[in-house]
Structure 1
Amino acid sequence: MTTEPVWETHPVTPDRFEDFADVVNRNRRATHCWCLSHRLTTAEITELGGDGPHQRELAMRALCEREHPPGVVTYLDGTPVGWCNIGPRSEIPRLHRSKLIRPTDDLPVWSIVCIVVRSGYRRRGVTRHLIDGAVNHAAAHGAPAVESHPVDPPGRMDLTMAFVGTRAMFERSGFEVVGTTDATASRMPRLTMRRTLAS
């Protein structure tokens, strides 16, 4: 008898920080990515994390204490296997101020800016559960819609580019193309895709 896998997605609150780190920075390298580039300036990282070698980790820990943590972690049978950086667009400064990825309208959307699947768990359906879990998290906090800005390349894409997703990946989770931005990735224009949530 085959047991069905158990999928769960939870916001990265302080008690789940180590699970988040297991996905994005398993070896806890101080200079490795902590998924801060869209959230904080260098000065803000220093303010939140001090000036020591682990300032990025400490800054990310501080973000996890806010009303809207900076994302969600997806678990497969209790093991953290995916990370999605999601939150109100207004709380993601690099995106909020972007002149290349402008808002489609005045709707206070939530935005997905990064997706990471833990090494060893790719091609197992993690991304679909991760996106759906992130959308459910946004809906539970009153988001009217969720947007993302993937590219739709004609050939194989570098899967290590975490911010870059494929159009089909989001379409499978109910997103529709609502525009094209002036930003590019892998030499292709980024789309604006949106999933409107029930009011």
Structure 2
Amino acid sequence: MATITTERATIGRWDDVQHSLSGGGDGRSCQCIWPVVSNKEWNSTNVEQRREMLHDEIASGPPPGLVAYVDGEAAGWIRVGPRRDQTRIVRTRTIVSATSEPLDDPTVWAVTCFVVRREHRGKGLNAQLLSAAIDYARESGARLIEAYPVDTTEGDHRSNDLYHGTLSTFLAQGFRTTAELTRGRVLVVRELS
């Protein structure tokens, strides 16, 4: 049985972050910058610029995510941090109208992205990453975590469309659904206090 561990994404783990993001799907090209930039910024950057942006974000701290390891090999990533720092969230009308939390509240955190290398899918890494993200948020003073997962019980979903996470993963970790955002996407919350 594989040993799965998680660590905060510090600059000392930069190579592991890159390994996690480069194993399939859009992680390599996105560099998990999508949640923190506007459409205009996104459209005006290339992969190398996004990689540099993530590098700078991690270097300046605090860690904007966690890395999962399978038997010591970097295998997955989750972005978690204060919601107000994830620009795209506070500019997304469906989320803004669905949330009951003040948009500038630093104690409201958000999970916005999962990436798991192809060879490590199906091993429960998303659940491990989410559990570690809950602990990280709580230890960092978060009062509540929001997320915007895909309800896979409706329609067909390509694996690249599941970077938000699946509703079942969040429900299994004690989140509750508070609103439908779009067909097949919901807002979930978990109080931490």
Q: TM-score range by the shorter chain?
A: 0.7 to 0.9
**Structure 1 residue 66: deviation in Å?**
2.8
1:9 aligned residue: 6
**Structure 1 residue 162: deviation in Å?**
4.0
Contact 2:111 2:147 in 1 (8 A): yes
Contact 2:23 2:118 in 1 (8 A): no
Distance of 2:71 and 2:83 partners within structure 1 = 31
Distance of 1:129 and 1:105 partners within structure 2 = 26
Give per-residue Cα distances to partners, 1:63-90, cap 9 Å, x unaligned. Answer: 0023322211111221111111111001
**Structure 1 residue 40: deviation in Å?**
2.5
Q: 2:100 aligns with which of 100, 104, 107?
A: 104
- State the TM-score, normalized to the length of structure 2: 0.83
Distance of 2:47 and 2:170 partners within structure 1 = 36
Distance of 1:40 and 1:167 partners within structure 2 = 25
SS at match of 2:122: coil
Distance of 1:26 and 1:132 partners within structure 2 = 22
Is 1:68 aligned to residue 62 of structure 2?
Answer: yes
- Count of aligned pairs between the two proteins: 185
Contact 2:30 2:47 in 1 (8 A): no
Say what the alpha-carbon RMSD is for the aligned residues: 2.7
Distance of 1:65 and 1:79 partners within structure 2 = 21
**Structure 1 residue 171: deviation in Å?**
0.8
Unaligned ranges ≥5, structure 1: 46-50
SS at match of 2:30: coil
% of aligned pairs identical? 28
Bigger proportion of residues as helix:
2
Give the counterpart letter for 2:111 in structure 1: I
2:177 aligned residue: 177
Which one has a bigger Cα radius of gyration? 1
Give the stretch that moved more between structures: 7-16 or 129-138: 7-16
Distance of 1:84 and 1:143 partners within structure 2 = 16
Change (3 A) 1:14 1:42: farther
Give the counterpart letter for 1:127 in structure 2: N
Distance of 2:157 and 2:46 partners within structure 1 = 36
Change (3 A) 1:157 1:65: same
Is 1:139 aligned to residue 138 of structure 2?
Answer: yes
Distance of 2:40 and 2:9 partners within structure 1 = 23
Relative contact order, CA 8 A, sep 6+: which one is greater? 2
1:32 aligned residue: 29
Structural mapping, 1:52-63, within 5 Å: 54-63=48-57
